[in-house]
Chains A and B, each alone.
Chain A
Amino acid sequence: MRVVVASGKGGTGKTTVAVNLALSLPECTLVDCDVEEPNCALFLPTNLEKIENVVARIPKFDLSKCTYCGQCADFCQFNAIAVIKSKNLLFYENLCHGCGGCELICPTGAISEGVRKIGEIHHGITDHIDLFVGKIDVGEPMATPVIKRIKSIALKESNKPMIFDSPPGVACPAIETMRGADFCILVSEPTPFGLHDLKLAVGVTRRLRIPCGVVVNREGIGDDRIDRYCAIERIPILMKIKESREIAELYSNGIPFTNKFLGYRQMFLNLYKSIEKMISDSRRADRS
């Protein structure tokens, strides 16, 4: 089963939920897809080992064959190539999406395929969690290729239950993380910001046709607006985590709160089982 932990907004507790859920299961694979700011490993006793460089395909220019006709620059939708008629060609590799169109269009065969490094995949093991972490290189704008790569590595290597920690937001990186998941846990806070961003995240799961449920974090700081919204939209509230300075302090020291409050482990395990049941029920309903 593939479960993604997401939320429209950052800082709602995605990593907290992902890590504590992982710790509460007998065994699982945890995939940190927040490649801009991967944090899962900070909460787990594991040494990460780099297993792969993530590379992006970029064009390689053989200027001895180039006639500076400018067709590659005209074609490029991302403005990654500029050709100056006085025989100069500029390539902005950060803008390149690696579509390969310039290579196809070049009439003189001056463009071939090259690669450049954009990120890294790391791996670590604790007693019962297999952890994969993606990291984008600083200054690289595109996270999605690193997320695609880490997903494909994790899916190839593991047949345990899989938990994906999503990046915040509802744009490309979050959507790439959610794509293909069996279920999406949306972490939210009972505040106006929390509800606003939850609505966006629910919109994404509906568009991708992934069933979802909500974990309310910091229960007690705001009001009951999340409950009211979920009741109207028929979205199950899977669990609530109380607002607690102690949990915030544990978090600040990199300690998963289920290490201290063991009762929450059973709650996370129950949460996971209820998700399993929801998925199998909906599959049965689909078949009949």
Chain B
Amino acid sequence: MKEITIISGKGGTGKTTITAAFASLAKNTVMADCDVDAPDLHIILDPRVRQRFPFYGMKVAMKDEAKCTQCGECRKHCRFDAIDEHFNIIDDVCEGCGVCQLVCREKAIRLLDRISGSIIVSETRFGPFVHGELRIAEEASGKLVTLVRKKAREVALEKGRDLIIIDGPPGIGCPAIAAISGSNLVLAVTEPTVSGAHDLERVLNLTNHFGVETVVCINKSSINPDNTNKIREFCESKGLEVVGEIPYDNCATKAMVAGMTLIEFTDCPIAKEIKNMWSKIQNRLKIED
């Protein structure tokens, strides 16, 4: 079983649009949305939910008011400022480390599991789909990414599917690390903008750091041909293949508004470029059509 992860240093570069287009091109695959902060792939894939599992993120400290003597030890030792001046625990800030429980002389504090979201398995017109939903203001998104990937592998095994396509999160933090580690290939999507180039470098440092093979797609390439050239040269100097250059075109947005993948919506040049890019990726991953 192979896994490909689509990421970008910066948000809004077109990860989800490209992932959705791949969904309609790929055969025998499971889709996974690992952008658990702002998952959008389901808007295009229109999933019929089959199963929903609770996601226990971090723990949370709970206080038994009756036992609390307001001695202040918990507040003194909490390094996350999660206990206010009235010795109430601020749920949003509590990291669930358990130090307050440890120092409480009255045994008034316990650590509880908290449900931080769900992991959802669905069926779509392109096959099985796994995604995560993080409750608002919940943390541990890296952990949820790991569990979404794990569930996607289970589904792939169960249904005999040999590829998992992962829509990754933006950035280079905890969720991005969780989305790429152990993946067979990363497709880094960038734009020919000063910020796009800056973020691509950081993302490539990350994939390099974790030793994951990486290819690059320059989206909206026609918006700035000079910068596109620079990115292409930069990738060449690093020995990275640019598998696609997608020109700037509003039909990507129109397809999204219509709730379709680009491949379903149109046969315009950008759809062709994505098809082309997909066959290069198939070659890389050594998967059959």
Contacts and interface: CB of A to CB of B under 8 A. Distances in A.
Contacts of A37: 9-10, 170-172, 195, 198-199, 202
B134 interface: yes
A203 B193 contact: no
Interface in B153-180: 169-177
Interface string A6-28: 00111110010000000000000
16 contacts: A42-B194, A99-B80, A99-B99, A167-B171, A168-B37, A172-B141, A192-B40, A203-B136, A207-B92, A207-B136, A207-B137, A248-B223, A251-B195, A252-B194, A253-B224, A253-B227
Interface string B94-108: 011111001100000
B257 A192 contact: yes
A169 B79 contact: no
A10 B38 contact: yes
B173 A77 contact: no
Interface in A44-87: 57, 75, 77-78
A11 B224 contact: no
Contact of B40 (A57, A167, A193): A193
Interface string A236-258: 00000000010011011110000
Contacts of A36: 9, 170-173, 176, 202
Contact of B171 (A12, A168, A222, A249): A168
A220 B186 CA distance: 33
Interface of B: 8-13, 16, 36-38, 40, 43, 58-59, 77, 79-80, 92, 95-99, 102-103, 111, 134, 136-139, 141-142, 169-177, 191-196, 198-199, 202, 205-206, 209-210, 220, 223-224, 227, 248, 250, 253, 256-257, 259
A241 B156 CA distance: 44
Contact of B95 (A11, A99, A105): A99
Given A39-B194, A169-B169, A207-B92, 14 more contacts: A9-B12, A10-B171, A37-B202, A39-B10, A98-B79, A99-B79, A139-B177, A173-B173, A193-B40, A197-B40, A203-B136, A222-B253, A248-B223, A252-B191
A123 interface: no
Interface residues of A, number: 58
Interface of A: 8-12, 15, 36-37, 39, 42-43, 57, 75, 77-78, 97-101, 104-105, 136, 138-143, 167-175, 191-193, 196-197, 200, 203-204, 207-208, 221-223, 245, 248-249, 251-254
A204 B43 contact: no
